[in-house]
């Protein structure tokens, strides 16, 4: 099984806050596992692995998908780490999550898979669809689809919508105005360590 379906709080306790994975917070302060209380200085490899795992679990990717994104990012001019984050942030499931149409990225993925979303008036059921500047993301004109999105919009996963997106709550419609800037990425991580992790493989 490529995608993680296990306990989410355990991952958050190990890796820190992952807004895309879950809204829940754990009452336990120590890392998960039998030896979670032991504090050893992590190796350089462990630090890079941890940053890579943050990306994987937050965006709900398999190892193969993340490797594919890294290869794509390396072909583009500019900072590979920044380009990688932009590729992941512009995925359709993440864009729906950032618009507030879903509480988490797994919930957004389910909305897309079940055919509740139209992109530029065409139904799209592929979560990894890369949103482009000018794309209009709207809810299907069905009562069940509209009720679901309205319910999620009342309790958004994140407080602020990034400046590259705009949302019309009355029409249940979102618009992509550009590419996300680094300061609007909700995940706290050092993307250069992820690039270094893959460059050594």
Q: In terms of domains, do 169 and 117 share one?
A: yes
How would residue 1 be classed by pLDDT, with cut points 50, 70 and 90? Answer: very low
What's the total number of domains in the chain?
2
Q: Is residue 37 part of a domain?
A: no
Pick left, alpha or beta for residue 161 (phi over 0 → left; psi -120 to 50 → alpha; otherwise beta).
beta
Q: Which tens digit of pLDDT belongs to each residue from 152-168?
A: 888 766 667 888 888 88
Phi first, then psi: what are they for 143, rounded to 5°? Answer: -55, -40
Q: Is residue 22 part of a domain?
A: yes
Sign of torsion over alpha carbons 97, 102, 104, 109: negative
Model pTM?
0.82
CATH number where 163 lies: 3.10.290.10
Q: Which tens digit of pLDDT belongs to each residue from 61-109?
A: 888 888 888 889 888 888 888 888 889 888 998 898 888 888 888 888 8
Q: What is the DSSP letter of 33?
A: S
Residue 14: CB atoms within 10 Å: 16
Write out the residue range of the structural domain in which residue 24 sits. 8-31+42-87+186-199
CATH number where 26 lies: 1.10.1050.10
């Amino acid at each position: 099984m490529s995608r993680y379906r296990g306990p989410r709080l355990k991952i958050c306790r190990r890796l820190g806050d992952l807004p895309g994975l879950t809204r829940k917070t754990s009452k336990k302060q120590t890392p998960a596992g039998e030896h979670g209380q032991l504090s050893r200085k992590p190796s350089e490899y462990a630090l890079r692995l941890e940053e890579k795992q943050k990306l994987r679990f937050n965006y709900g990717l398999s190892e193969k998908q993340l490797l594919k994104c890294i290869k794509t990012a390396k072909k583009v001019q500019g900072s590979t780490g920044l380009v990688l984050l932009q590729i992941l942030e512009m995925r359709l499931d993440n864009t729906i999550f950032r618009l507030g149409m879903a509480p988490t990225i797994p919930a957004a993925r389910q909305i897309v898979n079940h055919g509740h979303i139209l992109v530029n008036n065409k139904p799209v059921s592929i979560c990894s669809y890369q949103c482009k500047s000018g794309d209009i993301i709207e809810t299907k004109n069905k009562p069940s689809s509209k009720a679901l999105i309205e319910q999620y919009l009342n309790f958004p996963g994140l407080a602020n919508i990034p400046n590259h997106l705009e949302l019309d709550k009355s029409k249940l419609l979102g618009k992509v105005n550009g590419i996300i800037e680094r300061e609007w990425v909700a995940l706290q991580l050092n993307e250069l360590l992820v690039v270094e992790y893959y460059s050594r493989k």
